[in-house]
Amino acid sequence: MKFDAPAGANPIDKLRVVGRPTDRIDGPRKTTGTAPYAYERHDVVPNQAYGYVVGAGIAKGRLTRLDVSAAKSAPGVLAVVSTLDMDRLPLSKMNTASLFGGAEIQHYHQAIALVVAETFEQARGAAFLLHPEYQATPGRFDLQAHEDAPLVGGSSGEGSGGPKLDRVGDFDMAFAQASVKLDQRYTTPDESHAMMEPHATIAAWDGDRLTIWTSNQMIAWNKRDLAKTLGMSPDKLRVDSPFIGGGFGGKLFVRADSVLAALGARAAGRPVKVALTRPLIFNNTTHRPATMQRIRLGAGRDGRLVAIAHESLSGDLPDGKPETAVAQTKLLYAGANRLISMRLATLDLPEGNAMRAPGEAPGLMALEMAMDEMAEALDMDPVRFRILNDTQTDPEKPGRPFSQRQLVECLRTGAARFGWDRRKPRPGTVRDGRWLVGMGVSAGFRNNLLQPSGARVRLDKRGTVTVETDMTDIGTGSYTIIAQTAAEMMGVELDQVVVRLGDSDFPASAGSGGQWGANNSTSGVYAACVKLRDAVARAGGLDPDRAEFSGGRVAAGGRSIRLADAALHGDLVGDDRIEYGSLAKQYQQSTFAAHFVEAAVDGFTGEVRLRRMLAVCAAGRILNPKTARSQVIGAMTMGAGGALMEELAVDKRRGFFVNHDLAGYEVPVHADIPHQDVVFLPEADPVSSPMKAKGVGELGLCGVAAAIANAVYNATGVRVRDYPVTLDKHLQRLPELA
C-alpha cells in the first residue's frame, strides 16, 4: 500500500478497539515467567553449551599473543575461538567498531576470544586461563582535549541530523545587534543504556543454515548485517526475538554476542549460548557519547529571538558519527538568523551510537536550559518566552508547514495543570523546612520518522485472526497495539486475534527504534488487513468496496455472513506493507511536549529530590493510552537519571568506562521518582499514516533533564551547566538557611 495522500476516514477512525486503554496481551506471560528472554530459551534447541566472551585489556594497540592451551585443556571446555585465528570480520552497515577477528584493538573490552564449555562456570573459569599479551599504543580518551575537532555533518538515522555547518540569515550581525544576549556552554556525559536484559544469543547450525535466538530490536537489520559479518547468504539465516527486556537503542545493531555465539557453535559443533557480562555491555557495545555544547541566543526587548546559534562537539571512533545534538534547534523556535554546527573528535573510547532519542535528548538538555537562562535575562516567564517564540512553519523553510504542532497548547495545558502560576520567579525563595523548592519547565521535541513496514494477516475457519510480522516488542506494548489494529480492521474482539512477532521468517517490519515502531508497524498491519478484508468479502460473494466488518461478521448490500464462514474452505491471507510517498517532504512531521518538574534541594547536603513531574504530549493519535502512558513515565524516569546521576566515568589514561556495572553506574530507583502525570492532547495526524499516529516513547524523555535542572536552579539560585546535576556541583554555593 502506498501512502501518498493525507488519510481520509477509514475503519481505524471507529476507535472501537484502537485508542482505548488496553492491558498488554503479553502481560500474563510476563508476570508468570512464560515469556522467556533470549538466554532463557532452553527448549528451542537441545544440548546447549555455554560461551564466555573475553574482552581486551587495553583500549588501543595490538594483541600480539594469546596462549589458549591451558584453557583448551580445562575441564568441560569444548572450544576456544581466538581473534588471532581469523582475519577481521567485515563491518556491517550499522557497526563502527570491529566485532571480531584480527589483532588490532580499537577499544577497551573489544572481544578477543570466546571459551565454550559444558557449563557457564567452566567457560568462565577457563577464560581466566588465557594469557593475552598486548602492544599498547597511545590513545585519545579526553573529549575536552579536542575542542578544535573538525566540522562534520551526519545523521542519527532516526530523524535528527544535518550538515556540518548550517547558516540561515546573518547570525553574527543579528547577535551583535541584539538587545539581550546569552552565550553559554553546557556539557553532557557519556551514558549507558543499562537495559535490564543483557545482550544475549543462542546459536545453532544445521549444515550451512544458522538460527539465532537473540535480543535485538531490528530483526531485518540483524539478519542482513549478521549475514554480511559471517560471510553467508541471508536466506540461510533465521533470527528469532519475540521478547526483549529493554534495548533503548543498544540492541538496534548486531553486537558481539550474536557473532561469537555463531562462531562458537560452529567451532564446538553444537548449539552455544552467549550473554555479555555487564562490563562488556558498557564497554564492548555502544553508549551515548558525551557532548560539549555552546548556545548563543539574541533577542529584542520584546523577547522575540532574532539570533540562534547551537554548536556541538562529540567524539567517536574513526569513521563514526557525531551525536546530532543540534538538530532540534533547527525546528523548535522561530528566529530569522541561525548558525548550527557539529564537530566530531576522533576518540578511542568504545563505540558511540544510538541511545533513546539520539540527538534530541542531549541537545534539549542544553537548549532548554539556555532558554530558561534567556527568559531570566529578559525578566520574562519561561513558559511565556517559549510561547512567544513558537512557529507553525519550518524556520529554515517558511513555506513548509508542520503537519501538526501543538507545542503552545502543551505548554498552556501543562502550566494550568501543574500550578505554574504559583512558581516564584526569584530563585532560592521558596523553602519547606530545610528544603529549597523550585519549579522548572522545558519543551519537548522529536521528529516523526516514516519507515516501510510489512505484515501478514491470516483468517481461519474458527474466525481467529493471526498477525505475523518481524516487529519486536522491547517492552513497548507492540503485541497489544498490533492486536488492537487487527481487531479494529477485521471487526472482531481482541481475544480473537493472535499476534506473532520477532521472527525473520515473517514479513519485515519497521522494527523498534527511533519512536517509529508503533505508527509504522500498525500501518503495515492496516495495509495487510485491507488486503484480507478484500479477500474475505470476495470469498463471501460481497462487494469489497461496501463491506462493513463488525461483531465477527461482514455485511454488504443487505447480506451478512460470519467472518469464519468466509474461511471454511481454507485460510484467507492478506500480505502487504506500508510504503510512503512525498508527504514527509511537503510537511514537517514532529511531536511535541511540555515537561514540568517540582524539585527540592536539601539546604545542608545539596541532595536533590523530585516531588512532582508532568508531561503533556502532542504526538498524533494515541493507539493505546495505557501502554503509551507507561512509555512516557519510563522515559521521564530515564530523564531523571540523565539529569541527576547517570555518567560513565572515563579513565583518561587507559581509555575505558570505570563504572561499568549497575553498582557503579547509577540509575533511578523507585525512591527517586515522585508522582508522575501524563496528558495526551487530542490529535490525529492524517499526514503521518493511515493510523494518523506518530510516536511518543522517546518524546517522553526529550526535555525532561532540562526541566529538572531548571527546577533545581529555581530552588537554589545556583546554575549547574554540566550534567548530571550532582550535589558536589552546587553544595558550596547554596543560599544559607536561617
Dist CA 712 CA 735 (whole Å): 13
Dist CA 94 CA 107 (whole Å): 17
Dist CA 159 CA 358 (whole Å): 9
Q: Which of 283, 311, 327 is the last residue of a domain?
A: 283
Kindly tell me if the per-residue pLDDT of 198 is higher than 90.
Answer: yes
Catalytic residue among 121, 191, 698, 736: 698
Kindly tell me if the per-residue pLDDT of 479 is higher than 80.
Answer: yes
Model pLDDT, residue 158? 86
Element (H, E) at 523: helix 517-539
Residue 184 lies in a domain: no
Name, in order, each residue with C-beta under 8 angstroms of 703's C-beta and a sequence gap of 6 or more: 364, 368, 442, 443, 444, 445, 593, 594, 595, 639
Residue 291 lies in a domain: no
Taking the alpha carbons of 319, 322, 327, 330 in that order, is the dihedral positive or negative? negative
Q: Which of 240, 268, 283 is the last residue of a domain?
A: 283
Model pLDDT, residue 631? 97
| Contact (Cβ atoms closer than 8 angstroms) between residue 672 and residue 640 | yes
Residue 158 lies in a domain: no
**Beta strands at 559-562 and 104-105: parallel, antiparallel or unpaired:** unpaired
Comparing CA positions, the residue from 144, 151, 167, 189 lying closest to residue 343 is 151
| Contact (Cβ atoms closer than 8 angstroms) between residue 107 and residue 68 | no
Model pLDDT, residue 737? 83
Q: How confident is the model at residue 351 (pLDDT cuts 50, 70, 90)?
A: very high
Shared-domain flag, residues 613 and 736: yes
Dist CA 673 CA 675 (whole Å): 7
| Per-residue model confidence as pLDDT tens digits over 215-248 | 999 999 999 999 999 999 999 999 999 999 999 9
Shared-domain flag, residues 517 and 624: no
Is position 197 annotated as part of the catalytic site?
Answer: no
Helix axes 219-230, 256-268, angle to 10 degrees: 50
Count of the separate structural domains present in the chain: 3
Cell of 237: 539465516
For residue 717, give its domain range: 384-448+589-738
Residue 612 lies in a domain: yes
What average pLDDT does the segment 351-375 reach?
Answer: 98
| Contact (Cβ atoms closer than 8 angstroms) between residue 727 and residue 616 | no
Instruction: State whether residue 685 is helix, strand or coil.
Output: coil
Residue 319 lies in a domain: no
AA letter at 400: R
Shared-domain flag, residues 701 and 563: no
Shared-domain flag, residues 134 and 228: yes
Kindly tell me if the per-residue pLDDT of 361 is higher than 90.
Answer: yes
% of the chain exceeding 70 in pLDDT: 100
| Per-residue model confidence as pLDDT tens digits over 575-631 | 999 999 999 999 999 999 999 999 999 999 999 999 999 999 999 999 999 999 999
What average pLDDT does the segment 389-405 reach?
Answer: 94
Dist CA 577 CA 360 (whole Å): 29
Dist CA 481 CA 20 (whole Å): 10
Shared-domain flag, residues 697 and 618: yes
Kindly tell me if the per-residue pLDDT of 137 is higher than 90.
Answer: yes
What is the DSSP secondary structure assignment for residue 158, as one 8-state letter? Answer: S
Shared-domain flag, residues 469 and 519: yes
Instruction: State whether residue 463 is helix, strand or coil.
Output: coil
| Contact (Cβ atoms closer than 8 angstroms) between residue 80 and residue 116 | yes
| Per-residue model confidence as pLDDT tens digits over 672-717 | 999 999 999 999 999 999 999 999 999 999 999 999 999 999 999 9
Residue 555 lies in a domain: yes
Shared-domain flag, residues 215 and 67: yes
Q: How confident is the model at residue 157 (pLDDT cuts 50, 70, 90)?
A: confident
Model pLDDT, residue 379? 98
- Strand arrangement of the beta sheet that strand 337-346 belongs to: 165-168, 337-346, 305-316, 291-299, 180-188
Shared-domain flag, residues 124 and 247: yes
Residue 150 lies in a domain: no
Comparing CA positions, the residue from 75, 80, 83 lying closest to residue 118 is 75
AA letter at 472: T
Please tell me the total number of residues recorded for the chain in this structure: 738
Taking the alpha carbons of 326, 331, 334, 337 in that order, is the dihedral positive or negative? positive
Name, in order, each residue with C-beta under 8 angstroms of 516's C-beta and a sequence gap of 6 or more: 158, 159, 448, 449, 450, 451, 510, 695
Q: If 0-12 CB within 10 Å is exposed, 13-18 middle and 19+ buried, where does residue 44 land?
A: middle
| Contact (Cβ atoms closer than 8 angstroms) between residue 54 and residue 115 | yes
Dist CA 557 CA 544 (whole Å): 10
Model pLDDT, residue 555? 98
Shared-domain flag, residues 94 and 202: yes
Kindly tell me if the per-residue pLDDT of 162 is higher than 90.
Answer: no
CATH code, domain carrying 430? 3.30.365.10
Q: How confident is the model at residue 159 (pLDDT cuts 50, 70, 90)?
A: confident
Dist CA 318 CA 44 (whole Å): 39
Shared-domain flag, residues 103 and 227: yes
For 330-385, what is the HEC assignment?
HCCCCCCEEEEEEEEEECCCCCECCCCCCCHHHHHHHHHHHHHHHHHHCCCCHHHH
Dist CA 323 CA 291 (whole Å): 7
Model pLDDT, residue 738? 67
Q: Could you report how far apart the first and last alpha carbons of the chain are, in Å?
A: 69
Note the pTM of the prediction, 2 decimals: 0.98
Instruction: State whether residue 525 is helix, strand or coil.
Output: helix
Comparing CA positions, the residue from 165, 161, 163 lying closest to residue 328 is 161
Residue 494 lies in a domain: yes
Average pLDDT, the chain: 97
Shared-domain flag, residues 594 and 706: yes
Dist CA 413 CA 411 (whole Å): 6
Shared-domain flag, residues 431 and 503: no
Q: Which of 532, 561, 583 is the last residue of a domain?
A: 583
